[in-house]
Amino acid sequence: MGKKRIIKQTEEELLKEEEKTGPIKAPKETKERPIKIREGKIFISSSYNNTIITLADPQGNVLGWTSAGTAGFKGTKKSTPYAASKVAEFITDMAKKFGIEKVEVLVKGIGSGRESAIRSLVARGLEIISIKDVTPIPHNGCRQPKARRV
C-alpha cells in the first residue's frame, strides 16, 4: 500500500484558523452546587431480594438513591437487615450533604430490611417526622379461575 502522508498544519495556519473559529475550549464540567433543603422524603423499598432507598425533596423530586447491591452486597446477603442498615447509612450521608435534617419515611414492601433501615436512619442523626407504610394491598385480588366442569 505504501506510506500514508499526513498533512500537518503549520503554527501560522493554526493561529489563522483559531482567529476564525475562536479558541478551542474544553467542554465545561457541570458542577452542581448542593441544594440546601431542610426537609425531605426517604422512600424505603424492601423486597425479599433487595433493599432500595431513595432520597427526595418535599415535592418528591429524586435527589439520590442507593441499594444493597450498590453497597457491595451480593446474592442472598442483599436481603439481610444488616445490608439495609448499611444502605441507610449511605443515604444519611447523602442527606447531610444536601443539608436535610428532617425526613418523612415511606416504607414499601415486605422484606426483612424495613425496621433496621429506619433504626439506622435515626441512629445516624436524621429527625424522622413521620413513618408511613405504603405497601400495595390487593383489595379483591386476581380474577378467580373458571369453575371446573366434570
Q: What is the pLDDT of residues 76-133, one digit of tens each?
A: 999 999 999 999 999 999 999 999 999 999 999 998 899 999 999 999 999 999 999 9
State the pLDDT confidence band at 37, using cuts at 50, 70 and 90: confident
Model pTM score: 0.71
**pLDDT value of position 29:** 54
Q: Rounded to an integer, what distance in angstroms lies between the CA atom of residue 94 and that of residue 75?
A: 25
- Residue among 71, 68, 66, 54 at smallest CA distance from 112: 68
Q: Which position has the grid cell 418528591?
A: 60
Counting Cα atoms < 13 Å in the Cβ hemisphere of 105 gives 26
Q: Rounded to an integer, what distance in angstroms lies between the CA atom of residue 95 and that of residue 118?
A: 14
pLDDT > 60? residue 27? no
Domains recognised in the chain with CATH numbers? 39-133 (3.30.420.80)
pLDDT > 90? residue 31? no
Coil/strand/helix, residue 110: coil
Q: Over range 14-35, report the average pLDDT.
A: 60
Query: What is residue 43's DSSP assignment?
Result: E
